[in-house]
Amino acid sequence: MLGWKSPSRIVLGVLGGATCAGLSLLDPAALEFRLGSAWIATAYGLSAAFWLVLMPFWLRSKWAIGGVSGLLVGAVVLIPTWLAMVQLRALGAAALLGIFAVVWMADIAAYFSGRAFGKHKLAPTISPGKTWEGAIGAGIGVVVYGLVVRQMFDIQVLSLPLWIVLLFVVTGVSIVGDLFESLLKRKAGIKDSSNILPGHGGVLDRIDSLTSTLPVAALFLLLLQRSA
């Protein structure tokens, strides 16, 4: 969305792509899933702070973004996401797909509850179609899904109240990621992030919620592992 006319953008884009490719090729053992890996914990911690602390203010103020600053934000968003995908996949497909499923459930529940009950706009100047009713429906849908999964697979890593709180947090972070991508498109004056996936709004439109959710989920798993 920021374009590739400037050489500095091309350089940063290539470096970001090379970093993500390198993370994909690393032996999972080299990315041991533990909080003792300071650089990994730092990456996830910064990402969590970005989404949970900075981003609500960003969305409220609608700060401008562009040029090299835009690509730097892209690195802050995408590199921790890619790292989280590599690490979570090393834990097993179920760990990664489980987080994907939570995000998908949030999107589906938000869509249908918003269409059925939506009256109060969540962020009308950023994404007019999103409503508070849709956001609440997303949270309820994710909690119901999470409780079913917890029962089916006998997940006991957290007490029930903390499990429900975590599901609500993940839902909130996924909505924030979606809104941020909508803000970027609005600032760029475009409807879709690309035309690679006709009818789906572009690749970024398919992964917007995952870019915010995956690093936060990975950080939580690291903290949980340390406390175990």
Q: Report yes or no: 2 and 9 within 8 Å, Cβ to Cβ.
A: yes
Estimate to the nearest angstrom the gap between the alpha carbon of 153 and the chain centroid: 25
Q: Report yes or no: 125 and 157 within 8 Å, Cβ to Cβ.
A: no
Q: How would residue 29 be classed by pLDDT, with cut points 50, 70 and 90? A: very low
| pTM metric for this prediction | 0.81
Number of domains composing the chain:
1
So what's the pLDDT on residue 35? 47
Q: How would residue 214 be classed by pLDDT, with cut points 50, 70 and 90? A: very high
Q: With 90 as the cut, is the pLDDT of residue 213 above it?
A: yes
The span from the CA of 96 to the CA of 72, in Å, is 26
Residue, of 15 and 126, whose pLDDT is higher: 126
What would the mean pLDDT of 157-169 be, rounded to a whole number? 90
Range of 69's domain? 7-19+38-227
| Average pLDDT of the chain to the nearest whole number | 80
So what's the pLDDT on residue 202? 53
Would 164 be classed as within a structural domain? Answer: yes
What would the mean pLDDT of 129-158 be, rounded to a whole number? 93
Q: How would residue 146 be classed by pLDDT, with cut points 50, 70 and 90? A: very high
Q: With 60 as the cut, is the pLDDT of residue 176 above it?
A: yes
What would the mean pLDDT of 44-57 be, rounded to a whole number? 90
Would 62 be classed as within a structural domain? Answer: yes
Would 154 be classed as within a structural domain? Answer: yes
So what's the pLDDT on residue 141? 97
Phi then psi for residue 127, to 5 deg, are -140, 90
Rg for the chain, CA atoms, rounded: 18
Would 170 be classed as within a structural domain? Answer: yes
Would 28 be classed as within a structural domain? Answer: no
Q: With 90 as the cut, is the pLDDT of residue 77 above it?
A: no
Residue 208 token pair: 């917007």
Q: Report yes or no: 80 and 47 within 8 Å, Cβ to Cβ.
A: yes
Q: How would residue 158 be classed by pLDDT, with cut points 50, 70 and 90? A: confident
So what's the pLDDT on residue 220? 87
What would the mean pLDDT of 80-88 be, rounded to a whole number? 86
Strand (E) or helix (H) holding 128: strand 127-131
Residue, of 69 and 56, whose pLDDT is higher: 56
Which of 147-151, 180-184, 187-191, 224-228 ranks highest by mean pLDDT? 147-151
Would 177 be classed as within a structural domain? Answer: yes
Would 32 be classed as within a structural domain? Answer: no
pLDDT tens string 114-127: 999 999 999 999 99
What would the mean pLDDT of 165-194 be, rounded to a whole number? 82
